[in-house]
Amino acid sequence: MAADVHKKKGWEVPNGSLAPGDGQHTERSESPTPGLAQGTEPGAGQEGAMFVHTRSYEDLTSPEDGAAAARSPEERRGEPAEPSSMEQISKDFSELSTQLTGMALDLEEEMRQSKEGKLEPSPQTTRRDSVLSGKEEEDVTMDAWRMHRKHVFVLSEAGKPVYSRYGSEEALSSTMGVMMALVSFLEAEKNAIRSIHADGYKVVFVRRSPLVLVAVARTRQSEQEIAHELLYIYYQILSLLTWTQLNHIFQQKQNYDLRRLLAGSERITDNLLDLMAHDPSFLMGAVRCLPLAASVRDAVSTSLQQAKAKSLVFSILLSGNQLVSLVRKKDQFLHPIDLHLLFNLISSSSSFREGEAWTPICLPKFNSSGFFHAHISYLEQEMDLCLLLVSTDREDFFTVSDCKRRFQERLRRRGVHHALQEALRTPFYSVAQVGIPDLRHFIYKSKSSGLFTSPKIEAPYVREEEKERLLGLYQYLHSRAHNSSRPLKNIYFTGPRENLLAWVTSAFELYICYSPLGTKAGAISAVNKLMKWIRKEEDRLFILTPQTY
Amino acid sequence: MSGRRVDAKVVLLGQEGVGKSSLVERCAHRRFRPGPYQNTIGAAFVAKVISVGEQTVTLGIWDTAGSERYEAMSRIYYRGARAAVVCYDLTDSSSFQRAKFWVNELQNCEEGCRIYLCGTKSDLLEEDRRKRGVDFHDVQDYADEIKAELFETSSKTGQSVDELFQKVAEDYVHFTAFQVMTEEKGVDLGQRSGAYFYSCCHH
Ligand SMILES: Nc1nc2c(ncn2[C@@H]2O[C@H](COP(=O)(O)OP(=O)(O)OP(=O)(O)O)[C@@H](O)[C@H]2O)c(=O)[nH]1
Ligand SMILES: [Mg+2]
C-alpha cells in the first residue's frame, strides 16, 4: 500500500518558496490599493502562507494538473509595489467607475441572448442604457435560480456509471443528450473540457482519464465554473482511492464497475455538491477562518504545534466549515482544495462524533499517489470543534492519538477553553459590525494567504433560495471577473433588489452586495470604509501568523 | 498497531451495513440510534473497560468500515488483534459469505486471534421468523469447525451484546493468565492510569 507518502516521488511540494518573500510584507498600509504587492493586503500572513498558492479556479481547470498551482514567485514580484496613497485609491476608484457601464451592457446583452435561446455571440447592435431594467434582471435572478437544477454524472471511459447525483428517474430526462454529446466528446483529446448548450441546458464535460464527469445544468454558472465543480468531484473520488489505484484498476479491467469501491461514499459526494451550492469557499478557492481573538488563536496554534509527532504533516482544528488553526510541517503546504475536501468529509458524516476515527485519506492536490492516515475526532461531545491530525504513518495511531490528548491538555493549561467556547457561540459575524448602513454582505479574499472572510448572510436573504440566489450573483460576477478571454477588474452590477460590486486585483478580491437604493458613489466609499474595517479586524478574521513544526 | 493503554485489541469485521458500529454504540454507550445509516469511514477506535472478576480489562475496539474500498487496508486494523468479532446480518445470507471471507483472512494472517461469530439484528427475526436468511445450525456447524464462539445479538434491544463483549474479555483474561505463566510477559498495567486513559466508556 502506498501509505508511506514520504518515500514516494512527488512528496516534495515543488513550491516551498511560494510564501511571499520576506521583503514583501513589511509594509501594511491601512487601506490597500490594487497597486499593493501580494502579501501586504489585509489578511496576508505575516510569516508566510499556509497554503499552496493558487489562482482560484483557473488552477483547477488548467489542463495540466499542478502546473498552475506552481505560480512562480517571479511572476508576482514583477508587479510593481506602488505606494498606497490616497491618490492611488482615488485613481483606482475612478477607473472602477468607468468600467461599470461596459459591464452592465455586457450582462444585458447576454441575458437577451439567452432569452432568445441563442448562445453564440451575436453582434452587439442593440445597446441600451447602462443600468439594467428590473424586469429583465428578474429573469436572471428569479427563474433561473428557481430552476436551479444540476445533474452530475460520473462515468468510466467505457461508459459504466460511477456516480449519479439524482435518482435514475431524474437522470433519465437528460441522459439522451449526455450520451449523444459523450460520443463526440470522447473523440476529443484527454483532460479537455467540453460543453454544449441545448434546450436551455448547459452540458459540461470534464475528462480525467479514466473518468468522464458530466454536468447537466440549468444554472447561469459559466462552463468554467461548472467544470470547476466537476473537478472537485473528481478530486473527491481521488481522495478516496488515490489516482494511482484508480488508474491501476482500469488498466487491469477497462469495464470495471467502480461503484463497488465507492459504495457508501455517495453521501460524501452529494454533500460536496450541496456545499458548493451554499458555501462561497469553493467559488473563492479559499478558506474561511472562525473569527477569533488573535491571542486565543495563537494559544490554540501553539498548543497544536507543541503536540507534534514525527509522522504528523498537518494538524488542523476546524469548526463547521471554518478553520480555527492549521499547523503544518515545515516546507509542506496544503492546497485549499485538499482542505475543502477534508471539510466536506467531516461535514458529511456524523460517524466521526463517536470515538476516534483513523482513516486512509489521499490529498490529491498534495500527492495523488498515496494515502495519508487521518486521525479525526471531536474535542468534546457538545462542541463543534473537530481535530484532524494527518500522519504519514498508518501504524502510528496511538502516537497520534496521544498528540490529541497532549493538545487538549495544553489548551486546558493555557486557559483558552472558555474563550474558544465563547467564539463558537457566534461562528459568524454580522455585517452590521462594519457600520455601513447600505452594505448587506461581502466576500473579501486575501490572495497571498488563500483565506477569505465574509459575514453571515442576513435579511433579506433569509430563505434558502434567496441565499442561493445571492451566491449565484457572486458566482456570476466571479466568472465575469475571471473570464479567460476578457477578465474584468471592476464590475458594477445594478438590479432591482440589490447592487453588487466586484473588485479584483493581484492581491485581493472583493465582492460587495448592497442596497438597491445605494448609489455608485456610495458603493465606492463603502468599499473604502470596508477595506479599512477589514484591515482593522484582520487579526481576528484571518490567521496572520501560521505556525509550523 | 499495538496500543499501550489497552490490554487487548479487538477488531470488528463484516460486510457494510451489518451493524458493527451499532454493536459498538450499544456496548460503549448503551444506546441504539435508528436514524439514517452512516457508514463508517476507515475505522473508529473506542476503548471499553470490562470487569472480569476482580480484574478490569480494557478492550481497544476497532470498528472497521465494511466497504470494499478499505479491504486492502484492513490488515492494519486487525494486525495483532486478540479477538475478532466477525459480524453478519441474520437476515442477509450474502453477509454470511462475507463473514467467511474474513474468517479465512484471519486464519491465514492472525493465528493468535480468537474468532467470535456474531449474527446481528436478531430483533428483526423476533418480528418475523421468515426473515432469517442464515440457518442457525449451519452457522453453528461452521463455528465448531473454525473453533469460534457464536452469538446472535440485537443492538436495538441490546440482546446478547454485553454477553458477547464480556466473553471476549473473559477469554482474554484466561488466555493471558495462561500466557503470563508460560512466557513471563505480562501486560503493562502501569500505563493505565489518570488522564492517559480513555474516559468515554466508563459506566
Ligand atoms: N433492527 C436492527 N437494525 C440494526 C441493528 N444493528 C444495526 N442496525 C441497522 O443497520 C444499519 C447499519 O448499521 P451500522 O452499525 O452502521 O453498520 P456497519 O456494519 O457499521 O456498516 P459499515 O460501517 O458501513 O461497515 C443501520 O441502519 C442500523 O440502524 C439491530 O440490531 N437491529
Ligand atoms: Mg460502521
pLDDT (tens digit per residue) in A279-310: 999 999 999 999 999 999 999 999 999 999 99
- Low-confidence winner among A98-102, A444-448, A492-496, B180-184 (lowest mean pLDDT): A98-102
- B64 CA to centre of ligand 2 in angstroms: 6
- Which residue type is seen at A177? G
The DSSP-derived string for A44-83 is: --BTB-SB----HHHHHHSSSTTTTTS--HHHHHTS----
**Cβ partners under 8 Å of residue A357, min gap 6:** A351, A374, A375, A376, A377, B40, B41, B42, B43, B44, B45
Please give the mean pLDDT across all residues of chain A: 75
* Predicted ipTM of the assembly: 0.86
Nearest chain A Cα distance for residue B200, angstroms:
8
Ligand nearest to the CA of B20: 1
The response to whether residue B16 sits with its C-beta less than 6 Å from ligand 1 reads yes
Q: Sheet containing B114-120: give its strands across.
A: A547-548, A322-328, A312-319, A386-391, A372-378, A356-361, B43-52, B55-64, B8-14, B83-89, B114-120, B149-152
Nearest chain A Cα distance for residue B44, angstroms:
4
Residue with cell 439524482: A166
Is residue A168 very low, low, confident or very high in pLDDT (cuts 50, 70, 90)? low
Asked if A331 reaches chain B (Cβ–Cβ under 8 Å), the answer is: no
Apex CA A316: angle with CA A312 and CA A319, to 5°? 160
Q: How many Cβ atoms from other residues are within 10 Å of residue A71's Cβ? A: 17
In degrees and rounded to multiples of 5, residue A502 shows phi and psi of -120, 140
Per-residue pLDDT, averaged over A441-451, amounts to: 94
- Among A241, A245, A353, A358, pick the best mutation site for testing chain B contact (most B Cβ within 10 A): A358
Per-residue pLDDT, averaged over A244-251, amounts to: 94
Rounded CA separation A193/A65 (Å):
13
Nearest chain B Cα distance for residue A359, angstroms:
4
Between A169 and B47, residue with greater pLDDT:
B47
| Host H or E run for residue B61 | strand B55-64
**Cβ partners under 8 Å of residue A123, min gap 6:** none
Please compute, for residue B148, the number of CA atoms within 13 A of its CA located in the half-sphere on the CB side.
Answer: 29
What pLDDT score does A183 carry? 55
* Strand segments (E) across A379-480: 386-391, 439-446, 451-453
Rounded CA separation B82/B59 (Å):
10
Per-residue pLDDT, averaged over A448-460, amounts to: 93
What pLDDT score does A42 carry? 85
What pLDDT score does B96 carry? 97
In degrees and rounded to multiples of 5, residue A509 shows phi and psi of -130, 135
User: Counting runs of H as helices and runs of E as strands, what totals does chain B give?
Assistant: 6, 6
Asked if B200 reaches chain A (Cβ–Cβ under 8 Å), the answer is: yes
Q: Chain B neighbours among A 194-253 (CB < 8 Å)? A: 240-241
In degrees and rounded to multiples of 5, residue A156 shows phi and psi of -85, 165
- B65 CA to centre of ligand 2 in angstroms: 5
pLDDT (tens digit per residue) in B139-191: 999 999 999 999 999 999 999 999 999 999 999 998 876 665 554 444 444 44
In degrees and rounded to multiples of 5, residue A177 shows phi and psi of -60, -40
Asked if A134 reaches chain B (Cβ–Cβ under 8 Å), the answer is: no
Q: What percent of chain A has pLDDT over 70?
A: 69
- B32 CA to centre of ligand 2 in angstroms: 13
The DSSP-derived string for A106-157 is: HHHHHHHHHHTT--S---------SSPPHHHHHIIIIIHHHT--EEEEEEET
What pLDDT score does A58 carry? 38
Ion ligand 2: residues, Cβ under 5 Å: B 20-21, 40
What pLDDT score does A164 carry? 80
Is residue A197 very low, low, confident or very high in pLDDT (cuts 50, 70, 90)? confident
C-beta of residue A379 within 8 angstroms of C-beta of residue A387: yes
Rounded CA separation B48/B57 (Å):
8
Ligand nearest to the CA of B39: 1
A51-A270-A345-A333 Cα dihedral, nearest 10 degrees: -10
- Which residue type is seen at B43? A
